[in-house]
Amino acid sequence: MATTTTRTKTIVNCLECGAMIAAELDERGSVCLLGTEDACQCGGREFRRLR
Ligand SMILES: [Zn+2]
């Protein structure tokens, strides 16, 4: 059986600067930012899911 990783695309909001960033959620609900490292451009690492 293949192991599939279920990821859900979402939008998160940086708590530091308010930027909205495309991200994915893994099955544990961990946020994985798309196209960047695991921090916002401002260096913030705290994010809130918008949906
Ligand atoms: Zn930020």
Q: 2-31: per-residue pLDDT in tens? A: 677 788 999 999 999 999 999 998 888 888
Gap from CA of 1 to ligand 1 centroid (Å) = 40
Output the CA torsion sign for 31, 33, 39, 42.
negative
Work out the average pLDDT over 35-44: 85
CA neighbours within 13 Å on the CB side: how many for 47? 26
The amino acid occupying position 8 is T
The amino acid occupying position 22 is A
Please tell me the predicted confidence (pLDDT) of residue 30.
86
Judged against a pLDDT cut of 80, whether residue 37 lies above it is answered with no
Gap from CA of 40 to ligand 1 centroid (Å) = 5
Please tell me the predicted confidence (pLDDT) of residue 1.
65
Gap from CA of 47 to ligand 1 centroid (Å) = 9
Q: Cα–chain-centroid distance for residue 5?
A: 15
Please tell me the predicted confidence (pLDDT) of residue 29.
83
Gap from CA of 27 to ligand 1 centroid (Å) = 24
What does DSSP assign to residue 25? E
Q: What is the pTM (predicted TM-score) of this model?
A: 0.72
Gap from CA of 2 to ligand 1 centroid (Å) = 37
